[in-house]
Amino acid sequence: MRNDVVLVGPVANAARAEFEAAGSTVLAARAGEEALELVRDACPDLVVADLRLDDMVATELLARIRGEWRTCKVPALVVVESPEDARLVAEACGGSTSALVPPVSLASVADAASSFSLRWRTVARR
């Protein structure tokens, strides 16, 4: 089963090779606007974004993704640096997004994504 994933920011992109080795199609972005265009075009199975991006914070990116009918159900994870950041993400996203603490790996994404998709757990076990 192929999974399309958009990785946004340097911390999230550190796991690119691991995702590709597991058979995922990876689209990478450095900043929020670039990621928004990728998500609009590809409607991926998952978005993994660093909390702090060059041009916006991930919560703004996710609000914009959630605000469009075609992308509103795309699952997302935000890479945070602290439990306080995780709390802020949960509050800003109303529980619709999970937080992930670095380092980012396919296994850590699978664990964090288990709340919205069993598919990522399956991919991580390959």
> What is the C-alpha to C-alpha distance for residues 116 and 74, in angstroms, rounded to an integer?
10
* Residue pLDDT, tens place only, 35-49: 999 999 999 988 988
Task: Return the exposure string of 40-52: e unless at least 16 CB atoms fall within 10 Å of the residue's CB, then b.
Answer: eeeebbbbbbbbe
Give the CA distances from residue 25 to residues 44, 94, 126, in Å, rounded to whole numbers and listed in that order.
Answer: 9, 28, 15
pLDDT computed for residue 113 by the predictor: 63
Please give the model's pTM, rounded to 2 decimal places. Answer: 0.79
Which residues of the chain fall short of a pLDDT of 70? Answer: 1-2, 93-97, 100, 111-126
> In the prediction, which pLDDT does 2 show?
58
* Domains identified in the chain and CATH numbers: 4-124 (3.40.50.2300)
